Amino acid sequence: MKLCLTYSLAIIGVTATQSISAVSSTYTNPILPGWHSDPSCVFVPERNNTTFCTTSSFTVFPGLPIYASNDLLNWKLASNAFNRPSQAPGIIGAPRQRDGFFAATLRHHDGVFFLVVSFSWGYPPQRILTNCIFSSRDPYRDDAWTDPITFPVTSIDPDIFWDDDGQAYVTYPGGSEAGIYQATLDPTTGDIGPAYKLWSGSGRPYPEGPHMYRKDGYYYLSVAEGGTELGHLQSMARSKALSGPYESYPANPILTNRNTTEYFQAVGHADLFQDASQNWWGVALSTRSGPTWDKFPDITNDSVLYRPNSTYPMGRETVLFPVTWRQGEWPIMEPVRGLMTGWPIFPSAKKLPGDGPFVNDPDVLDFEPGSKLPSHLVYWRAPNPASYVISPSGHPNTLRLKCSTANLTTSSDFDPRDGLTLIMRRQTTTLFTFSVDIAFSPRALEEETGVTLFLTQSQHIDLGIVLLKAGGHLIPHFRLRTINETATVPGAIIKQVPRD
C-alpha cells in the first residue's frame, strides 16, 4: 500500500488576584496554542528584552522549537534546536510514538543559550534513554545550534542551573529512586560529579520536571508531581544551602487545577521567569478538556490510562500565569484560567529577527521556485529529502511528494527508516479553514493522497483521494476515515470522485 500525504494538522475556584499590586493587563490562555507541552522559558535582557521558550517535540522533525516574544503574547518561531538528522540519528528509526526529545530546560548564561533535554528511543527493556545539551549564541538561526553533548544521567526532565560562583548543576528526578537529585555539570564536556538527593517531593507520585531558582538567599526547587493528567500539580521547596536540607512549601501544591471544574486541567510542569520590569511570570502545560476523564486500555503496555471523555483536539498547550514573589517569601502563582489578569503587558510591534512565522499566523503557501519549506512545517521522524521537492521541472509553484510504501497507520512489519511521506503544521485553533490543491494520478490499488488531523500513527482522521475497485475497475474515491486504537470510531465514508 502506498500513500502520499500533503499536509497534516498535528493534534500533534478562587483566584489570588489580590496579591498582584499593579494589575493592568488581561490576556487569554493558551499563549502557545496547540501541541506545546512541557514549556521552559528564559528572559534575556541583552536580546532586546526578549523572552525565549521551548516545548517538547518527541519524534517530530525539526524539533525543540525556540519561540521568541517581546510581550509574552505574540510568539515567533525563532529557530529549531534540533534541525539536522545528524544531531540525533536515532530519530530516523524511532519505533515508538513517544520517542524523541521531550521536557527540555532552556537557559541563558554568559551570552550562550543552553538547552538540556532527554532523548528516548525504543521499547523496554532495550529502551535507550540519554540526556544531552544543545547550545547556541544566536537563537534566531537553526545552524547556530550545536550538535548535542551527552551527559551520563539515565533519567528524564533535566534542569540546568548556575550558582553564584559560576558552577553549573544538573537537577533531575531519580527514576526508580524516588525524589529529585543533583550533580555538578560541565556543559561544555558533559562531565558530571557525584549525585546527591535534594528532596523527596511533597508525597505525591511522579516527582519530575524540576527547576532550580536562586532568590533572596534561598534556593527554590519547583517540581511537577501527580502525573501529567487530572492529578497534575506543581510543588515547591526551598533551602539556604544548595545541597539542602529543603523545606516544603506549607500549602503545597503551589499550583494546580486538580479537583476543580475548571475547563483548563492537567496544569503542571511549570517554569518561572521575570520580565523587563522585574515582574515574575510562569508557564505550564494544560489541556482544555474539563475535569471528566474515563478509563481506556493502554495497548502499549497492558495498563490503564485515564483519558478525557470530552474532546480536546488541541492537546497539551502552554499557558501563562502571573506570579507574585515578595522578598524572602514563597511565590504566589495565580490559578490558570482562560481569561487572566496580571502584570502590565505592553503589546509589541511584532518585530523580531528571523524568517519564522508568528504562532497563529495564517498560511498561504505557493512553493515558489528556489524557496525552502517554511520552518514551522514538520515531519513525523526525519524525512527523506527526495520525497519533498519544491517546484520540480515543469511544475512551478508546487510541492511534489513521493509516495511512501506505508500508510499513516502502517503495519506490524513497518520499518520507521522507510519513512512516511507526511508534512504537517501544528493546529493552533479549533475553528479554521484549511485547503490544499492536489494534482494526483494514482495507478495502484489503495494509492492515496489527502489531508489528515494527526496525533500519532494510531490516532488520526484522514480525508483522502484513494484508488479503489468499483465495477471491475480502479476508480478514484473520496474516503473519510478515523483511526483510533483505544476507542470505537465510525466506519469509513467512501464516495466516488465525480468524473467532471
Which pLDDT value is given to residue 243? 98
State residue 294's pLDDT score. 57
State whether 278 and 423 are in the same domain.
no
Structural contact between residues 420 and 469, judged by C-beta atoms closer than 8 angstroms: no
Cis peptide before 173 (omega within 30 of 0): no
Looking at per-residue pLDDT, the higher value among 500 and 78 belongs to 78
Burial of 23: CB neighbours in 10 Å, binned 0-12, 13-18, 19+: middle
* CATH number of the structural domain spanning residue 44: 2.115.10.20
Per the domain annotation, does 358 fall within a domain? no
- Asked if residue 295 has pLDDT above 60, the reply is no
* Any domain includes 53: yes
Per-residue model confidence (pLDDT) at position 6: 39
* Residue 441 structural domain: 378-496
pTM for this prediction: 0.92
Cβ neighbours around 292 below 10 Å, total:
11
Instruction: Specify whether 110 is located in the same domain as 28.
Output: yes
pLDDT at residue 352 is higher than 70: yes
Q: Is residue 199 pLDDT above 90, yes or no?
A: yes
Q: Would the pLDDT of 426 be above 60?
A: yes
What is the pLDDT averaged over residues 206-213?
98
389 and 268 share one domain = no
Instruction: Look at residues 285, 316, 342 and tell me which one is the last residue of a structural domain.
Output: 342
Domains: count for the chain: 2
Strand partners, 388: 401
Q: Do residues 92 and 238 both lie within one domain?
A: yes
Grid-cell match 515582574, residue found: 279
DSSP 29-52: S-SB-SS--S-EEEEEGGGTSEEE
**Same domain, residue pair 84 and 142:** yes
Q: Do residue 323 and residue 394 come from a single domain?
A: no
Residues 333 and 382 in one domain: no
For 432-479, write each residue's pLDDT tens digit: 999 999 999 999 999 999 999 999 888 999 999 999 999 999 999 999
pLDDT of 16 higher than 50 = no
- Looking at the fold, whether 338 and 418 belong to one and the same domain comes out as no
Instruction: Tell me the pairing of strands 316-324 and 303-308.
Output: unpaired
pLDDT tier at 297 (50, 70, 90 boundaries)?
very low
Judge if 394 and 330 occupy the same domain: no
Residue 5: pLDDT over 60: no
* 290 and 393 share one domain: no
Residues 224-275: pLDDT tens digits?
999 988 999 999 999 999 999 999 999 999 999 999 999 999 999 999 999 9
Q: Is pLDDT above 90 for 131?
A: yes
212 and 66 part of one domain: yes
- Tens-place pLDDT, residues 162-188: 999 999 999 999 976 789 999 999 999
Same-domain check for residues 213 and 118: yes
Residue 11 within a domain: no
Q: In the beta sheet, which residues pair with residue 448? A: 3, 466
Residue 175 counted as domain residue? yes
Of 318, 342, 366, the residue at which a domain comes to its end is 342
- The pLDDT of residue 307 is 54
240 backbone dihedrals φ, ψ, rounded to 5° = -80, -20
On the question of pLDDT at 346 being above 60, the answer is: yes
Residue at 24 is within a domain: yes
Q: Is residue 198 part of a domain?
A: yes
In the prediction, which pLDDT does 79 show? 98
Phi and psi angles of residue 45, each rounded to the nearest 5 degrees, phi first: -65, -35
Of the residues 342, 369, 402, the one at which a domain ends:
342
Decide if 30 is inside a domain. Answer: yes
352 within domain boundaries: no
